[in-house]
Amino acid sequence: MFGAHPRHTAIRAAVLVVTAGAIFGVVLLPVRLVGISMEPAYRDGGFTFANRLAFAWRQPARGDVVAIRMAGLRVVYVKRIVGLPGERVSIAAGIVAIDGRPLDEPSVRDRAPWSMPPVALDVDEYFVIGDNRAMAMEHHEFGRVRRDRIVGKLLF
Amino acid sequence: MPATRRLLVSLGLAAAIWMAWQWWVDPRRVIARRLDQIADVLSTPAGAGELERFARAARLTQYFAPDVHISAGRPGPSVTSRDALVAAVAAWKGNEPAGGRDVQVVDVEVTLESASAARASMTVRLVGVDPRTGVRSVDAREVAARLADVDGEWVITGARLVETLERP
**Which of the pair, A82 or A10, is modelled with greater confidence?**
A82
For B16, B40, B79, B161, the CA distances from B53, given in Å and listed in that order, are 41, 12, 20, 24
User: Are the CB atoms for A89 and A98 separated by under 8 Å?
Assistant: yes
B49 pLDDT band, cuts 50/70/90, is confident
Residue B47, by phi and psi: left (phi above 0), alpha (psi -120 to 50) or beta? left
**Cβ–Cβ gap B123/A75 under 8 Å:** yes
Average pLDDT, chain B: 87
Q: Which of these, A80, A65, A77, A69, lies nearest to A34 by C-alpha position? A: A77
Whole-prediction pTM = 0.86
What pLDDT does residue B143 have?
Answer: 97
Asked if pLDDT for residue A110 goes beyond 80, the answer is yes
User: What pLDDT is recorded for position B74?
Assistant: 66
A70 vs B166: CB contact, 8 Å cut-off? no
Per residue in A47-64, pLDDT (tens digit) is: 999 999 999 999 999 999
Arithmetic mean of pLDDT, B100-107: 91
Helix or strand or coil: residue B85?
Answer: helix
Q: Does B134 touch chain A (CB under 8 A)?
A: no
Q: Cα distance from B121 to chain A (closest Cα, Å)?
A: 6
Q: What ipTM was predicted for this assembly?
A: 0.86
Give A132→chain B minimum CA distance, Å: 17
Lowest mean pLDDT of A59-68, B55-64, B155-164, name the range: B55-64
3-class DSSP string for chain A: CCCCCHHHHHHHHHHHHHHHHHHHHHHEEEEECCCCCCCCCCCCCCEEEEECCCCCCCCCCCCCEEEEECCCCCCEEEEEEEECCCCEEEEECCEEEECCEECCCCCCCCECCCCEEEEECCCCEEEEECCCECCCHHHCCCEEEEHHHEEEEECC
Using a CB-CB cut-off of 8 Å, the residues of chain A touching B123 are 70-72, 74-75
Q: Which of A34, A74, A141 sits opposite B106 (nearest CB)?
A: A74
Per-residue pLDDT tens for A94-106?
Answer: 999 999 999 999 9
Give the closest-approach CA distance of B136 to chain A in angstroms.
10
Which residue in chain A has the smallest CA separation from B145?
A71
d(CA B144, CA A72): 12
Residue B2 clears pLDDT 90, i.e. is over it: no
Residue numbers in B near A149 (CB within 8 A): 164
pLDDT category at A1 given cuts 50, 70, 90 is: low
- Going by pLDDT thresholds of 50, 70 and 90, the confidence category of residue B70 is very high
Query: Are the C-beta atoms of A40 and A124 separated by less than 8 Å?
Result: no
**Contact call for A142 and B165, based on CB within 8 A:** yes
